[in-house]
Amino acid sequence: MLIVLLGPPGAGKGTQGERLAARLGVPKIATGDVLRAAVREGTPLGLEAKAAMDRGDLVPDEVIMGIMKETLNSPDAAKGAILDGVVRTIPQAEGLTEMIQSLGRELDAVLLFDVETEELVRRLSGRTTCDSCQRPFFGREPGQPCGCTEHNGVGTLTRRRDDEPEAVRKRLEVYKAQTAPVIDWYRRNGARIVAINAVGTLDEVEARALAGLGPSR
């Protein structure tokens, strides 16, 4: 089972992606997570991606295609995957479609997260992330201990560089110019698009996603 999560930054793709992955028994693959880990570890991939990420720009399509190829081919993803933030440009959608076909697999759905821009700005500017478990928190200040029980609460909350106001503005512009056209591309190419209202409690949004994906899920 392969599901692409599409939607603007701050729409909740990461959080809902985790939930859907746990419920459907497949991994969540997020290029943003792979890139942030590479930046933390200072690998060549991280060094290449860091500047673009900090500005709120996209990293080059070839870099993303390399990550997709590696992760989709991994044994973990044999049963399927939830692809979070993986497709951000039309060339990436084309590349992923070819990759999926060459693996003899099919895309089940594109799950589209719908949230108004004002709400996105409010969410992103109030977001901090645990530097240990990478979980996002809203309305909690940087510097506080994360305190989350699953990871022994060892982390400290930090503000992602790309959650600073300038980068948030840039990311929303980039979404409009480069990622939103991907929705139409999938529509033209016959993908099943499931649009959900992504404003509500985590449980409400998850329930809408599962209902939209259909009773067999």
Does the active-site annotation cover 127? yes
The answer to whether 13 is a known catalytic residue is: yes
DSSP 53-91: HHHTPPPPHHHHHHHHHHHHTSGGGGG-EEEES---SHH
Active-site residue 160, yes or no? yes
Counting contacts by CB under 6 A, is residue 86 touching ligand AMP?
Answer: yes
Instruction: Find residue 170's DSSP bridge partners.
Output: none
Residue 168 near ligand AMP by CB under 6 A: no
**Length in residues, the chain:** 217
By Cβ distance, which residue is nearest to ligand AMP?
32
The catalytic residue among 55, 127, 161, 208 is 127
Q: Give the residue with the Cβ less far from ligand AMP, 159 or 217.
A: 159
- Strands (DSSP E) contained in the chain are 2-6, 28-30, 81-84, 109-114, 127-130, 136-138, 157-158, 193-197
Active site residue 171: yes
Q: Which of 47, 3, 52 is nearest to 24 (CA)?
A: 3
Using CB under 6 A as the binding rule, whether residue 53 contacts ligand AMP is answered as yes
| Torsions phi, psi for 75 (to 5 deg) | -60, -30
Contact range with ligand AMP by CB under 6 A, out of 55-63, 71-79, 120-128, 141-149: 55-63
Q: Is 16 in the site for ligand AMP (CB under 6 A)?
A: no
Q: Which residues pair with 129 in a beta bridge?
A: 136, 158
| Region 123-142 residues binding ligand AMP, contact defined as CB under 6 A | none
35 binds ligand AMP (CB under 6 A): yes
Active site residues: 13, 88, 127, 160, 171
Provide the binding-site residues for ligand AMP, judged by CB under 6 A: 9, 31-32, 35, 52-53, 56-59, 64, 85-86, 88, 92, 162, 171
